[in-house]
Amino acid sequence: MRTRTMLVPALSVAVTAALARSLLRRRTALVDVPSDLRHPMLYLPLDAISTNLPLMRAIKPRATQVADGVDARRLTVPGPEGAGEVAFWVYRPTASGRRTGALVWMHGGGYVVGSPEVQHHVCSRLSAELGIVVVSVDYRLAPEHPFPAPLEDCYAALRWVHTHSDDLDVDPARVAVGGESAGGGLAACLAQLAVDRGEHPVAFQLLIYPMLDDRTVLREDHRGTGRFIWSPRSNRFGWTAYLGRTPHGDAAPPYAAAARREDLTGLPPAWIGVGDLDLFHAEDHDYARRLSAAGVPCELHVAPGMYHGADAFVPDARASTAFRGAMTAALSTALTTDQQG
């Protein structure tokens, strides 16, 4: 009894000391983050996804608001063979009355968490501001549904947009794909898959700090990135869940990790946005460089001082509004009737 009594205070001291060291490291790292981008969550060691996925899924964020002037409806369609139905949300301007473009959107969450409802505000705002149709896919999540299940769900949504383009008043030549984080990775792979299958064209890729390369897990030196929100440990967990195995140097299956594709010629034009403190900064920068080298028009927007998801955590910060503004402008140029002539 005496040993146990002595052990408890010792453990408490050790835990307290470890937390204090972690807090100190984070306070030091915050020097690189602009003051208006700082958020209380940055002081916490956010590896809960890799340590307790069931708890993270149980804590469901509230659905965000749909923008005024937009009709939002949840639909289901037949999914991949033997997989049941695929659900998605469709956002349409209520006062459009003209043929428009469309965006097939994938939410973030490291391939293991997330839902379309959390991004009602993002998708409906794009629909309202640009007068386009947005389809946000409720794709299946890993590890229960590893690759290729989530990607095939997204392809089913792309197919639905094209086959219902007349009903939606959508120009099939102006259908884009896009997403944030893991959703951006899915969007990049969806563009590759669509080009290779040659069934349903994609006009543009809108890639928001996309999760493109499983080989980032193998890097030891992240050069000061990945200290906030999405860490190397979380990245390892997400990729392992999605691939069904731990990432390694050998090739991943085709369309599993967009950066693994060797020949990028013929892919749709792209806009890639990422912060310079984001774990994905290096892989996103490299993918943009390779797209341009392959003759694919690609605009890379790097936001100084932005960590992963900063624009969602602090949406009113100057860097966040500039980041979202550049993203919206790029999509507008790609899809709106006036810009298309």
Note if 120 is an active site residue: no
265 and 175 part of one domain? yes
pLDDT given for residue 340 in this prediction? 41
Active-site choice (115, 153, 308, 311):
308
Distance of CA 14 to the CA centre of its chain: 37
pLDDT given for residue 249 in this prediction? 86
pLDDT given for residue 41 in this prediction? 72
Note if 308 is an active site residue: yes
51 and 14 part of one domain? no
135 and 201 part of one domain? yes
69 and 147 part of one domain? yes
The answer to whether the pTM exceeds 0.85 is yes
197 and 278 part of one domain? yes
Region at 18 (left for phi over 0; alpha for psi -120 to 50; beta for the rest): alpha
210 and 105 part of one domain? yes
pLDDT given for residue 36 in this prediction? 77
Active-site choice (50, 124, 181, 320):
181
Residue 23 domain boundaries? 1-32
| pLDDT tens by residue, 90-140 | 999 998 778 899 999 999 999 999 999 999 999 999 999 999 999 999 999
CA distance 253 to 268: 21
56 and 15 part of one domain? no
pLDDT given for residue 15 in this prediction? 43
19 and 90 part of one domain? no
Note if 153 is an active site residue: no
Active-site choice (278, 281, 284, 311):
278
How many domains are there within the chain? 2
21 and 136 part of one domain? no
CA distance 140 to 113: 10
87 and 24 part of one domain? no
9 and 142 part of one domain? no
128 and 6 part of one domain? no
CATH code assigned at 91: 3.40.50.1820
- Write out residues in the chain with pLDDT < 70, as ranges: 1-31, 43-51, 337-341
Q: Which two tokens stand for residue 49?
A: 């996804």
pLDDT given for residue 336 in this prediction? 80
